[in-house]
Amino acid sequence: MEDSDMGIIIAQQGTPVAGSADYQRVYDSRRRFMELAFRREVAVDASADAAGRIIVFRHGLGFVSMFESDFKDPDLSIFMDKEVVFLRGSKSHYQGTITLRIYNFPVLEEYTAVKGLPEGFSSPRSEIGAKFLDTDNPGVDVGDNWPVGFSVDTTKKILSIHKHGFASINPRYRYSARATAIDTATDTITFSATPGADTTELRDLSWLQTAGTPIVYSSLTAMPGGMPIVDSIISATLYVIPVSSTTFKVAYSRAQALAGNAIDLTSAGSFPAYLRPQAEPGEMTDAIFHDVGYPPTFLLAQVYYDTTSNGVLTKGEPYVGPMIERIQARVAADSRYLTFHGVQSVFIAYLAYVILKDPAELAR
Amino acid sequence: MNRGTYGMAAAKRGHDMSEGDWLNDTSKVKWSADLERDPKHVLIMENFRGGTKWTIPANTPTRYIETLYAIRHGMPFPPKFLCYFYARDAPSAQVGAVGQYMIGYAYMLTNAFPMGEEGIFCEVDDEWFYIKHYVETVAGNSANTFYGSDYNFRVRYMLLNQPALVKSTAPF
């Protein structure tokens, strides 16, 4: 979908179009909307395919979008990829009726709405609006003052999208490796993949072979049951000096790392130790940049990838869960960023997000 | 009237209408909210307190629920809602919650273990839209007084002109 500098703008009643804030325009045909592609009640009587998916509906949009449903089952969850809506879980068969709403925009592609008014715009005020009948509500006529029955009714506030896209929140927490030995004579640390590494990120150790990567080093103690807890963390961020495919040295700064000036390691400590890449100083890895100009109303969905293994792990096509009704995170919103904080730990997620042209702090 | 043949559509720049997948199509239903309804369908509430500070004795796995806010929505169906909770103030032990938004549901973190959980959620039925407060204790819980009104929220909700598929954001 492309932006256009032509279109129709209608502001909410009593507000001149010229000079109106973007959230005061009930209709701006240049924007994307929270617009339905499909509403379906789907009768499902299907079994899982070879990939473990119970197919619910072939939507055929060709892209992943936001969706919602009334599906609730303790053993199955509902997802959408670019072709189908499907169930997955511990059951291999499902019989029942599921109501779906699938929205009409490729949420994982980055989109930002046009800003401001078209050049040459010259209609200072209008109380004229437009109504279009919804073909799925045959009982309503244009003259009716019903809350439903119209696909577009500019006497209402029509929610449009400021921005949508994909965000990986705190991505570096997906990467880790183990330090298995320190040679104090050569100041080298031996590393290996995290045991059982079953994601493409955990298999990827290139960050330990890239000069100047900031990392965290911590020793571990095993709790009963094998859950590791951190018993000591080297508080300074360390920077990698690659030595071989299984060893590296560390420096106290990127410049020192790039110059090859390693720290003199005088003590081996306990093993295994835990390694993780750090964010670059000043880099925001826990935020979505939206720049809408006010703390906005936002919508989120969790994004997933399947990983296939043919000797080499391969990340599959993305798919999403339904629009999140509640999120296990706290979100700080300002006029430029949404920032995510875990409730009791670091929040790590792949998210599809929608920023609406709608302030979270103004009623209208 | 043939309802399917009226409307406006615009093709993408450089594309033809016959291709479909238009830039703008008024036949497709869009999220909307009525700004003129009474009671309000779009509203912000300041100083929204977290409810009763329930005191729970030990070893009582129980669910407590109270309604903090209710309006007749006046819609011909339970409407879809958007609800945002912004923590304006929190107990000193949970000061990290201040300044955070939550969608649909607000955790009211407790500082003791094991007790259970406390929060605020939204719900609709055929007639009403609610904001409710709950505490759910777990088996073997410690005796405790929950935070309730020690939390102070700014709440913004919007009732949309389409039916809800999910009628409650309660975690149970």
Whole-number pLDDT of residue A284: 84
More confident of the two residues A48 and B96: A48
Using DSSP's 3-state secondary structure scheme, residue A13 falls into coil
Residues B72-96 have a mean pLDDT of: 91
Whole-number pLDDT of residue A336: 93
Whole-number pLDDT of residue A364: 47
pLDDT of B20 strictly over 80:
no
Query: Which is nearest to B25 in space by CA: A25, A293, A135, A230?
Result: A135
* C-alpha–C-alpha distance, residues A169 and A345, integer Å: 13
Residues 48-107 in B contacting A (C-alpha not used; CB under 8 Å): 75-77, 79, 82, 84, 86-87, 96-97, 99-105, 107
pLDDT, one tens digit for every residue, chain A (364 residues) = 445 566 677 777 777 777 777 777 777 777 888 999 989 999 999 999 999 999 999 999 999 999 999 999 999 999 999 999 999 999 999 999 999 999 999 999 999 987 766 655 555 445 556 777 777 777 777 777 777 777 777 778 888 899 999 999 999 889 999 999 989 899 999 999 988 888 888 889 999 999 999 998 887 654 444 444 444 555 578 899 999 999 999 998 999 999 999 998 887 777 888 898 988 777 888 999 999 999 999 999 999 998 877 777 788 899 999 999 888 788 888 899 999 988 777 889 999 999 999 888 765 4
pLDDT of B100 strictly over 80:
yes
User: In chain A, which residues have their Cβ closer than 8 Å to the Cβ of B153?
Assistant: none
Which chain A residue is nearest to residue B101, measuring alpha carbons?
A331
Within 13 Å of residue A81, how many CA atoms lie on the same side as its CB? Answer: 15
Structure tokens at A106: 């490729």
Residues 101-120 in B contacting A (C-alpha not used; CB under 8 Å): 101-105, 107, 109
Nearest by CB to A151, from B29, B75, B97: name it: B29
Whole-number pLDDT of residue B111: 57
Whole-number pLDDT of residue A144: 74
Whole-number pLDDT of residue A2: 47
| Mode of pairing for the β-strands spanning B79-89 and B101-103 | antiparallel
Contact flag B35-A333 (C-beta cutoff 8 Å): no
Contact flag A343-B162 (C-beta cutoff 8 Å): no
Whole-number pLDDT of residue B142: 81
Query: Which is nearest to A242 in space by CA: A278, A288, A208?
Result: A208
Nearest by CB to A152, from B23, B30, B107: name it: B30
pLDDT of B158 strictly over 90:
yes
Which amino acid, residue B83? C
Structure pTM? 0.86
Taking every pair of Cα atoms in chain B, the longest distance, rounded to a whole number of angstroms, is 70
Residues B99-118 have a mean pLDDT of: 80
What lies within 8 Å, CB to CB, of B111 at 6+ separation is B91, B93, B94
Helix (H) or strand (E) holding B54: none
ipTM above 0.95, yes or no: no
Please give the sequence-ordered ranges of beta strands (E in DSSP) within B42-115, or none if there are none.
Answer: 42-49, 55-56, 63-72, 79-89, 101-103, 105-107
